[in-house]
Amino acid sequence: MNIETEIAFQEDVLLLEEVIDLKNLVVYNDDINTFEHVIQTLIEVCKHSPEQAEQCTYLIHYKGKCTVKVGTFEELEAMCSSIHNRGISADIV
């Protein structure tokens, strides 16, 4: 391939790039909800496996908070509302 052909080829190629702004769904510790309630919520709302939900719950308890899901704001908004409806504190950050 000569230089002229290579340049013409490079000009014909378009780069399509989609920028997705990912957010974190963070659940916070409290002194009200039981481990079982938080674990069950993460399984039902975030579709965690039982092991993943238990690990996140321990992190929430000992670290004060844990990112339980990553996604777009639109994906996380309904999950955050469902977590709030179950009496658990959460934010999208």
- For residue 47, the model assigns a pLDDT of 98
Nearest-angstrom CA–CA distance, 24 and 86: 19
Q: Which CATH architecture has domain 22-92?
A: 2-Layer Sandwich (3.30)
Q: Domain boundaries in the chain?
A: 22-92
- Please check the confidence at residue 34 and state whether its pLDDT lies above 90: yes
Contact of 83 with 90, CB cutoff 8 Å: yes
- For residue 40, the model assigns a pLDDT of 98
The residues that bridge with 69 in the sheet, in sequence order, are 25
Write down the mean pLDDT value for the chain. 90
Position 5 confidence tier, pLDDT thresholds 50, 70, 90 = low
Position 72 confidence tier, pLDDT thresholds 50, 70, 90 = very high
